[in-house]
Structure 1
């Protein structure tokens, strides 16, 4: 199997300058380079630079996948968007790490080692990965830490945590992840039952911005000097910076409030929830299979009833397919004969079917490829 790598970088906060684009072009002559992106695929070589350097100087989001089982997602965030203590609480090397830059945090989610190469199907979906996962950055800037929790869950999935370890923070809304967070969980191959179990034990956020009364109460308690500072930033053209700071302030308050309302769960408890989720999943899957079988039988019965309305027409179709004399037509004739047998069994008699079938074989018994198909389907015994 040949090697395959896909990498993509995205600039969000500012576009690349012409000089920066020229610099990147000097590193790769094949890459697709625009003022906001750098995209390349490799099947025999690799990027002649450190992706971290690209992130440190040029880009805000990065996705990398390789068909030997490597998957990396990076995000560069302004440092006012999240505090170091929070980052440390979630980080579990090598699955979630961070680097302190002069004005940013560089966050890295990594699949780590995997031997389940057969499940690594999304190497063919590289061009769509960035679109699905990139919104995680904006979610983090708005104080949504669930993507960090997903990174920590990768270590739980691979059993690199101790049974008595506690979840980093009590986060609400784990039962209903965003589309980007779901994509990140798939990217990191989080155990589906673990993810469902963690969510089942999570409650809706009773202190969310959607609760106007709670939000208004929180805003009323903000110091006037702090509010004035945010307003000055907005008037000075730093609205995004003010929003990030306020979102972080609100997220910190929600985190403190959650700690007083609910106890953090241990890894052992999370796996117990995963077992419960697995049991429910198996029940639902069995139910879905039964429903699918009922629907399949309904459609099958309707088709057989339709055939029974005009048996001569159905026999003519089988003869016509056989007379075409090629493999595809023989397959169609064989399927039609199986359907006719079942239709006669349900709406007439098998004796009547055998009578017509003998006529069919008298006419087409020299077609060896067709006869072999009929023998294989149990419609005929070759002499």
Structure 2
């Protein structure tokens, strides 16, 4: 199997300039390059550039996928969104990386070795950017759930005596992008269920108990002037993000005292995950049993309807057998299997055997048919 790698970059806060697009084109003649991004895939070669460097210079989001069961996501957010002390507890060298530039945080999530070969054989990587890019806006609103999910994705590399980071609210109600991230990183769903047991309900950014007017009273005139200047310079989206991130940070500070759930050791999380797995398996078994009961009920209804007039099925089977072809014999066996089920349900297997012997009288010399009936367990000679 040939190598396959997919690269997709997105420029969100600032479109690429013509000069920047020329610089990118010098790296790849085949890539799709627009003011909003760069997309290319490679089947034998590789990107002749460092994605990390491109994230520092050009882009706000990056998705990578390779068919050797590896994938990566990077998002760049303004440095004002988080303090270093907020990010550090989630970091892990192989799964969740955090890099600081002069103006931004570059946060990277990685799945280095998936065991799901089928996923990477079938997935060309092209759908992930659309599903994952909303995470950036969530992070810029101060949502820590994507970071906690990255920490959970470390999985078996976490030591039993390690403490989890502070659990963000809303783990029981992940956004579509956060669910996509859990899928992207193949996070153990039972471990995620265990982690969510310590998570408060998600809170709205428009919490009526902490109105925006209260927050605005804390603003200094210079801060408001800076936002208005940004809007006047035509950077309204940037101003909106600044306001939202500041408001989210203020809400987080106001609620910090009430979100002080005890941090758990990884060993406790794993025990809770085992319990969650047992509960899930019992639930799945119950659901499977229900589906099977419904299937059996439906099948029995079909067989009873067939057995109201079995003669036409015997006749149809005989007509197929008389064709003397392999396909005719296969259809004969299929019809006789249905009749065998029907007789077992409403009469007896002996009744089916008696009818089968009568059926075979005109077809006794069809060796290929008899062999198929024997292989199907319908005839013993």
Q: Same fold (TM over 0.5)?
A: yes
Alpha-carbon distance in structure 2 between the residues aligned to 1:366 and 1:210: 82
Q: Hey, what does 2:168 align to over in structure 1?
A: 171
Is 2:216 aligned against 1:208?
no
User: CA contact under 8 A between 1:170 and 1:255: conserved in structure 2?
Assistant: no
Deviation at residue 107 of structure 1 after TM alignment: 1.5
Describe the shift of the 1:325–1:80 C-alpha distance in structure 2 as closer, same or farther (beyond 3 A).
Answer: farther
Per mean C-alpha deviation after superposition, the further-off stretch among 351-360 and 140-149 is 351-360
Which residue matches 2:60? 60
Quote the offset at 1:289 in angstroms.
1.1
Name structure 1 gaps, 5 residues minimum. none
Partner of 1:311: 310
Q: Give the direction of change, closer, same or farther, for the CA distance of 1:216–1:61 in structure 2 (3 Å limit).
A: closer
Partners of 1:136 and 1:147 within 8 A in 2:
yes
| Equivalent position of 1:252 in the other structure | 249
* 1:271-282 superposed matches below 5 A: 271-282=270-281
SS at 2:33 equivalent: strand
Alignment size in residue pairs? 378
Indicate how the Cα distance of structure 1 residues 322 and 65 shifts in structure 2: closer, same or farther if over 3 A, else same: farther
Which residue does the alignment assign to 1:263? 261
The question of whether the paired residues in 1 share the 8 Å contact of 2:60 and 2:75 is answered with yes
Q: CA deviation at 1:185?
A: 1.1
Give the Å deviation of 1:203. Answer: 1.9
From 180, 185, 205, the equivalent of 1:183 is: 180
Task: Quote how far apart the aligned CAs of 1:199 are.
Answer: 1.6
Residue 40 and residue 238 in structure 1: after superposition, are their counterparts in 2 closer, same or farther (change >3 A)?
closer
- Asked if 1:192 corresponds to 2:184, the answer is no
Please say if 1:243 is aligned against 2:243. Answer: no
Name the structure 2 match of 1:37. 37
Q: Measure how far apart 1:62 and its partner are.
A: 1.3
Give distance in 2, aligned partners of 1:7 and 1:152: 24
Using the alignment, how far apart are the partners of 1:301 and 1:43 within structure 2? 52
1:12 aligns with 2:12: yes
Report Cα offsets for 1:49-73 as digits up to 9, x if no partner. Answer: 2122332223221111112222111
* SS of match in other structure, 2:38: strand
1:357 aligns with 356
Q: CA deviation at 1:307?
A: 0.8
Per-residue deviation, residues 195-215 of structure 1 (Å, max 9, x unmatched): 11112331213x432432333
Task: Give the 5 Å matches for 1:323-338.
Answer: 323=322, 327=326, 329-338=328-337
Higher mean Cα deviation, 269-278 or 117-126? Answer: 117-126
Cα distance change on mapping 1:63 and 1:222 into 2, 3 Å: same
Q: Which residue of 2 aligns with 1:77?
A: 77
Match in the other structure for 2:46 = 46
Correspondence 1:86-125 to 2 at 5 A? 86-112=86-112, 114=113, 116-118=115-117, 120-121=119-120, 124-125=123-124
CA distance in 2, matches of 1:142, 1:27: 35
Cα contact 2:9–2:37 (8 A) shared by 1: yes
Deviation of 1:228 (Å)? 5.4
